[in-house]
Amino acid sequence: MSITAQKLNFVYNAKSPFAKHALKNVDLHVESGEFVAIVGHTGSGKTTFVQHLNALIRVQSGSLVVDNHDLSSKKLNLKALRGSVGMVFQYPEYQLFADTVLQDVCFGPKNFGVSKEQSEVLAKEALALVGLGEDVYNKSPFDLSGGEKRRVALAGVLAMKPTTLVLDEPTAGLDPRGKKEILSLVKRLNKEQGITVVMVSHDMDEVFENADRVVVFKDGEIVYDLPPSQLFQNEQELVAMNLELPQMARVLNVLRQNGIVLQGDLRTVDDVANALQNLKGGDC
C-alpha cells in the first residue's frame, strides 16, 4: 500500500554537541504497487529514512503515513504496522538465530500469535517463494551459502505476508548470482503479487534495471525523484554526487549525444540491442 512522508525531519543526538540533522524536510509519496529505489552517497540519510517506515525510528517532526497507519501518532498500532511493512535490514542474515531454517522462518508468524501448524504452512510457502525447498527445512541456517542465508532471512519477512517490502541494500556483499536471485525475487514479488517495494541500493545497474522511480538523497534531502531513464541523463550532476552511472544509461547517453534517440523503456542489454536492431531495420 502507499507511503506518504511530508516534511519529515530527523536529528540524531538532538540538543547535544553531536547533533546530526539526518533528514531535512523529506517529502515523498510512494503509490501502492510501485518499485522505488533510494540512492545516495554514504551518510545521505537513506537508512534513517527507511527505518522510519516500520517505526524503528519514530517520527520527530513532520508526518508519515504508511498503509493507513499514522506513524506520527502516539496511538500507532506497531504490531499491525510491522505485519504489513516487511523490513529487510542490511546483512539480514546476521539476524538468523534458530537451530533450523524452518524454525527461523516460523518465528515471525508465531510471534504474531499464529498457531504452530499455520506458521509452518506460511513458512513453507515463503521458503518456496524464495526458491528454497524441503531439503533445507531442517538444516542449520549457518550451513547455507551467503545467498541462501539471505533468502532465508527474506523468507522470514515474507512469511508475515507484508503488503510493503522495505529493503536496505539487499544485495550488498553477494556474488553476482546471489544478487540476481534476490533481485529477480524482489521484482517478481512486486510485479506478480503487487507488493510495494522501497529498496535502498548503491548498485546503479540494478536500480536502472528494476526501479519504476529513483529517489536521490543528498545530505538528508531529496534532490531528485525521477524514473531511471530520465534521472541518469543528468550525468555530470550525478557524478558530482559520487554516484556511478548505470552501464546501460551511459550507452544510451552516448547514443543520444550522437543523435540516436532510442524509444521505449530500455533497461537491459537485450532491450538496447533490440532497439538498435529495430532502428537499423527501419533505416535500411
Ligand X SMILES: Nc1ncnc2c1ncn2[C@@H]1O[C@H](COP(=O)(O)OP(=O)(O)O)[C@@H](O)[C@H]1O
Alpha-carbon torsion 194, 224, 265, 252, what sign? negative
Identify the residue among 24, 46, 149, 151 touching ligand X (CB under 6 A).
Answer: 46
Q: What distance in Å separates the CA atoms of residue 277 and residue 177, rounded to the nearest whole number?
A: 29
Cα Rg for the chain, rounded, in angstroms? 20
Identify the residue among 4, 9, 20, 262 touching ligand X (CB under 6 A).
Answer: 20
- Pick from Mg ion, ligand X, none: which does 124 bind, CB < 5 to 8 A by kind? none
Q: Does 16 bind ligand X (CB under 6 A)?
A: no
Q: Does 170 bind ligand X (CB under 6 A)?
A: no
Q: What distance in Å separates the CA atoms of residue 196 and residue 180, rounded to the nearest whole number?
A: 19
Q: Does 47 bind ligand X (CB under 6 A)?
A: yes
- Pick from Mg ion, ligand X, none: which does 257 bind, CB < 5 to 8 A by kind? none
DSSP code of residue 243: P
Which residue lies nearer to Mg ion by CB, 49 or 107?
49
Q: How many CB atoms lie within 10 A of CB 180?
A: 14
What ranges in 85-115 are assigned the alpha helix state H?
101-111
Alpha-carbon torsion 24, 61, 112, 104, what sign? positive
Identify the residue among 9, 12, 98, 255 touching ligand X (CB under 6 A).
Answer: 12
DSSP code of residue 104: H
- Pick from Mg ion, ligand X, none: which does 20 bind, CB < 5 to 8 A by kind? ligand X
Q: Smallest distance, Å, CB 113 to Mg ion?
A: 32
Q: Looking at 44-52, 65-73, 188-196, 227-235, which segment touches Mg ion (CB under 5 A)? A: 44-52
Q: What distance in Å separates the CA atoms of residue 130 and residue 142, rounded to the nearest whole number?
A: 17
**Which residues make up the interface to ligand X (CB under 6 A)?**
12-13, 20, 22, 40, 42-48
**Which residues make up the interface to Mg ion (CB under 5 A)?**
46-47
